[in-house]
Structure 1
Amino acid sequence: MVLSDTSEGDIGWKKWFIAGWAFMECLFFGGLLYGWASVNFVLKMEGIYGCDSVLISNNSLTYSQNSSGNDVISVVSFNGTEAPSLVTMDSVPATSLNDTMEESDGSCKQQDSNMALCFTIASTLFCVGCAVLGHINYKFGTRVTRIISFFMFVIGSLMMAFISKENPWLMYPGLSCLGIGGLPLLVTNTQVSNLFLVGSSSIVGLLCGGFDMSSAVMLIVKLAYQGGFSRQYMFIIIAVLHVLVLVSTFFFLPKDYIVRPEVKTERQSEVAGEEEVGIELINKTNDAVAEQSANDVPSLRSCLLDPKFITHNIWLCLLQLRFYYFIGTLNQYLTRILKTQDQVSYFLDVCMYTMMVGLLTSFLSGIVYDWQKSLCKDGKSHTYREVMPAVLPLTIASTLSLLLSILVLIPVTELLYVSFIVMTVYRSFLYSLAAAFLSAMFPGQYFGMLYGVMILFGGIFSFFQFAFFTWAGSYPTAPQHANICLLCLVLLSYVHPLYLWLTSWKEERKFKVN
């Protein structure tokens, strides 16, 4: 079943098995970074980067007054660990004490700042690592890229396993390596869509759906932790299971990469009796590059300077910043609205469960894209046939981001369910279309490089999320103001689909005039 560099022709049912295996890899190991909210909750429960002062919760104290008239708080427990049994607060009225109890629900600005900074650094390096590994993928092929990502992921998992109060800094490189090691699985597996002449965008959407759903792995870590399993044990299991990706690395996927197939001629279709064609793997030592140059394949430089690629980068940067800020501050957002840790834990679980539906929504975005392709296939302009199908799905993604930006401005508990659903669909459209657009618009051998550059710019821009987080904590109404600013940035993302629409109709009108 191995796809060696000598494999030619149609591979029949094998492509479905390979696509299924690729989906499994993306599901279990691809986007664990996006499950940060669940791990964040666990690390807070363990007191990682916690405040020096004793945190107060309504379930762990009793209030009394001593002979001197001072308020006395008897602390029974603190997050499952022993704490000082007596804390004296001089001259604190009962009303002030009640306010203190409500505000001291486990939140700690020092801890929140470290957690937000960790996610910001990890998400940025996640994108930078994608650019670097995308270049490696372009230069050295699939196998080398996946071997490097394998070691990065295992190292990250082990670092996450051994985080402790004595070594809390391990969460910074740990989460970063976990993200850097996971994303190449999506990048290298996306080429599997080239095995399918019909529905390739849907396959990309399916893989991105698995990538989205992988955040549920972190939810499993959280639930297992609450059930009595140690965090260390769970991350060691994840590291061991990651060995499974070596199976496809050496047996299913080629050493180099898969190129998009050409449609068969009528005579070839009669002989083969099939509608779909097989694949031909590139061997860089032969004349494949020369043949593609003869077929007017654009240069990598021209692809990087293409206005469609530039506006697509801007679109991703704006929408990814909105998504990263929502995920990175979800714990604090829920704490601010709900006030109790039990409710925060419940809604975190609801959010993670909702994100698991990303499989269906990512597949839906691919279906919408392919449906638009079928509607535009009769266009006389090549630009119209290739570019116009992307307009509607890209517009839907921007609209979903706008809707999420509006929902977070309304602090109503019941709307949290709606927010999670919108966020899940929005994220699925965002990353499925980010990949599917590049796959459809540019040569397949450039995909890893272009995707890496796009994610790099997105990661650099997403570093602004920490500035938004700092702003949100500066004064009481700052979170609302920060979200309003993000809403305005999301509106700018409509420039991309608008540009594509104008370009497509401009080219199509030329043929109608003639």
Structure 2
Amino acid sequence: MVAKCCRLKHTKILGAYNVSEWKRIAQICAAVVYCLLAAGIVFGYAALKPILIMEGVYRDRCTKEELDQGVEVCSEQEIRLNLMFTVAAVVTNICALPVGGILDSCGPRVPGAIGSILIALGALLFANPAHFPYDGRLTGYALFAIGGPFVFISSFHLSNTFPKHAGLILSMLTGAFDCSSALFLLFRLVHGKANGFFTIKTLFLIYLIVPAFILASQVLLMPSRSYSTVGELLQHAEETLAEDESENGGHSADTQERDADLSPRYQRLISQINALIDDQNSQSGSEYTSNPAFKADPNWGVMHTSSSLQQILSPWFIFITIFTIIQMLRTNYFISTIHPQYEYLLSQPNQARQLNHLFDFFLPLGGLIAIPFIGIILDQSTLPGILTLLVTGATLVGVLGCISDSLTAAYANISLFVLYRPYFYTVVSDYAAKIFGFQTFGKVYGLITFLAGLGNFLQSPLDILTIKILHGNPVPVNIGLTGAGAIAGGVLAWFVWWRNRRWMGVGSAACDVGETERLLPDALNERREGSYGALRRGEAA
């Protein structure tokens, strides 16, 4: 019953024009802050691990001989510590599917609140593991991994608060996700300089402020429904006009009379949507946005009107999912094996260690630096161009990772990787929003991430292959993953380009920006006659 009520509530349209500008800005700022502090903190495990070792976590698993020898980390301790990250990396992707289902059914406020509770429980368990019958720290870290997607994915709809800057907003959220891995780096610095005052328990008890802030934001600031895309607002305007015409017994066959008879409710919606798209160009109903984000991309909204099942069975979903599985496997495999990889490639353990420390610092910094550039690319480029850059970057990172005995190539590789990673994550979410819309975003994006999480189980076989069969040589695995990613990405980019060309050839006039996005009476007349771009794109899909 609750789910049904949530679903009925969520299906209502929420236009950004219904919320004041200052409140939308405050919502974005709050989301960026709590994503920075909670969304992807589990990926900063490399910085947390030295603290755990220093405080003797899992030291009880060492044998008497190992303790007598005074080893810094014994084998069973190392395995248990690594298991903590392995479980978190898999869980954080797999749980994206149930997060998406809750998001689509109940709106963004519910998963955001659930995420805050899970993160709070994780902090309490990590601070007081002895009070839990099982492994409190492993369970607590897993709760961090589950709570992160609840908070992160439920924030994506905020990109619709300012459609002109949707790409920038998405890149800010993704950049915050990437930078959140620096939280444990901050913990390590504080722990090292506090002379034992800030223990793990103290740090995580202080951290409880974060889930409290998230919960307060959800209750007091965030909307209960997801903001609608321009395409969804357009569909709502259509339905409004159809209802009004039905009540009035149809519409006139004369074009001028039709324009004059448009319902006041419809005209008000048109004015609000035009103002939302571009305030400076919405002074009258005959003007339209000049923002390139709404120009020349016929693929935008191609499956907004399709059911979630139709979307999942379409090539639009299949191709992006295959590419995402391969790229996420490559990304996480590189993060977890960067030290042994460059220990082999450079044949210099000291250089590999320095490179690893630099990478720990660059990883969150890259997300921060990339934010404005990613926003510009997504807001100013068409989807085929965005995907071409994505595939090119992935291939270049893969090639640099195969070059041995070159410190220059190693530095270039990690520098490009930390910039590419936030771009990759942002493009996948941006693609899902543009192609599938936000009515089914949770299910579709959640399933993409879920399947990519399952693909991460291949990391262990790749480790065994590299260590035991290839004697530590990472090049064959890197070549295989790079080649697979290039092929999958090439097919995806070609498909989107082909559909782009096909649609522009079939209905270039209907795809003109003035016809596609300004939502004016003359465009309405064309749409009634079956030539309006958004509807025909839905049929073509």
If the TM-score is normalised by the length of the shorter chain, which range does it land in?
0.7 to 0.9
1:37 aligned to which of 46, 63, 85: 46
1:420 aligned to which of 410, 414, 417: 414
Contact 2:89 2:145 survives alignment (8 Å)? yes
2:380 aligned to which of 357, 365, 371: 371
Distance 1:332 1:308 in 2: 37
Distance 2:25 2:506 in 1: 41
Alignment of 1:268-279 (within 5 A): 268=268, 275-276=275-276
Cα pair distance change 1:156/1:417, threshold 3 Å: farther
Alignment of 1:37-436 (within 5 A): 37-46=46-55, 48=57, 52=63, 84=68, 112-162=78-128, 169-227=135-193, 228=195, 229-261=198-230, 262=233, 268=268, 275-276=275-276, 297-333=305-341, 344=353, 347-348=356-357, 350-372=359-381, 389-409=382-402, 410=404, 412-436=406-430
User: What displacement does 1:390 show?
Assistant: 1.8
Contact 2:47 2:360 survives alignment (8 Å)? no
348-357 vs 131-140, greater mean Cα deviation: 348-357
Equivalent pairs, count: 434
338-347 vs 34-43, greater mean Cα deviation: 338-347
Q: Which amino acid aligns with 1:505?
A: R
**Unpaired runs of at least 5, structure 1:** 56-82, 88-103, 279-294, 373-388
2:497 aligns with 501
Percentage identity across aligned positions? 21
Contact 2:111 2:151 survives alignment (8 Å)? no
1:15 aligns with 24
Cα pair distance change 1:343/1:457, threshold 3 Å: closer
Distance 1:111 1:470 in 2: 20
Q: Which amino acid aligns with 1:326?
A: F
Alignment of 1:464-475 (within 5 A): 464-474=458-468
Cα pair distance change 1:316/1:445, threshold 3 Å: same
Distance 1:415 1:347 in 2: 14
Contact 1:215 1:355 survives alignment (8 Å)? yes
Distance 2:41 2:371 in 1: 17
User: What displacement does 1:453 show?
Assistant: 0.9
Distance 2:267 2:48 in 1: 57
Contact 1:120 1:328 survives alignment (8 Å)? no
Task: Provide Cα deviations, 1:100-149, integer angstroms capped at 9, x if missing partner.
Answer: xxxx9x68665554444433322221112111121112122222212221
User: What displacement does 1:413 show?
Assistant: 4.4
Q: CA RMSD in A?
A: 3.7
Query: Which structure has more helix as a fraction of its residues?
Result: 2
Q: Which amino acid aligns with 1:371?
A: Q
SS in 2 for 1:198: helix
User: What displacement does 1:181 show?
Assistant: 0.4
Contact 1:124 1:460 survives alignment (8 Å)? yes
TM-score, structure 1 normalization: 0.74
1:77 aligns with none
TM-score, structure 2 normalization: 0.70
1:453 aligns with 447
SS in 1 for 2:334: helix
User: What displacement does 1:483 show?
Assistant: 2.7
Distance 1:260 1:234 in 2: 40
Contact 2:179 2:367 survives alignment (8 Å)? yes
